[in-house]
């Protein structure tokens, strides 16, 4: 993944296991890895991470990984979740009757850009989240 201009200033990787999703632990890891983010920016980034990782546990296949990338100027966090399923996520329209399926709507609203890249084994779902409050 790239924001178009240069390699990230920092990157981190978390292996996701195939057991029960411990979203709280994943959020803690991400907040620790991104400890310099302003609180408002951190909330947006963690929400996008939560949605993309939850999709892996709900619809993907393991092995899977979470990658975090940071660019300093302008401050942007890249999130990439790789899993072994070739099934692409689907952005569905919002419905008041739907009990689930709104995660990608949140990702679409919070991310500057997001997308899916096919891999030899599976796919990568990525998002770039701007962090204007972080200097």
State the 10-residue block means of pLDDT for the chain, 135 residues long: 61 90 95 95 97 94 95 92 93 69 89 95 96 91
CB hemisphere CA count around 42 (13 angstroms): 14
Domain of residue 76, residue span: 10-130
Q: State residue 3's pLDDT score.
A: 46
CATH number at residue 46: 3.30.565.10
Specify the pLDDT at position 72. 87
* Within a domain: 135: no
Q: State how beta strands 64-71 and 10-16 pair.
A: antiparallel
Instruction: Give the pLDDT of residue 8.
Output: 75
Given this model, what pLDDT does residue 123 score? 97
Residue 1 lies in a domain: no
120 lies in some domain: yes
Residue 3 lies in a domain: no
Q: How many domains does the chain have?
A: 1
Residue 116's pLDDT is: 96
Residue 84, in any domain of the structure: yes
The verdict on residue 5 lying in a domain is no
How far, CA to CA in Å, does 49 sit from each of 2, 5, 114? 17, 23, 12
4 is a domain residue: no
pLDDT number for residue 99: 60
């Amino acid at each position: 993944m790239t924001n178009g201009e240069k390699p990230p200033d920092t990157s981190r990787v978390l292996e996701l296991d195939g057991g029960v999703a411990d979203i709280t632990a994943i959020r803690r890891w991400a907040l620790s890895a991104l400890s310099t983010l302003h609180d408002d920016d951190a909330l947006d980034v963690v929400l996008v991470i939560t949605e993309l990782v939850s999709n892996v546990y709900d619809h993907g296949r393991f092995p899977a990984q979470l990658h975090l990338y940071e660019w300093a100027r302008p401050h942007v966090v890249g999130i990439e979740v790789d899993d072994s399923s070739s099934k692409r996520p689907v952005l569905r329209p919002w419905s008041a009757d739907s009990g689930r399926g709104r995660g990608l709507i949140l990702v679409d609203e919070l991310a500057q850009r997001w997308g899916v890249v096919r891999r030899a084994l599976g796919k990568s779902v990525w998002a770039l989240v701007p962090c204007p409050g972080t200097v």
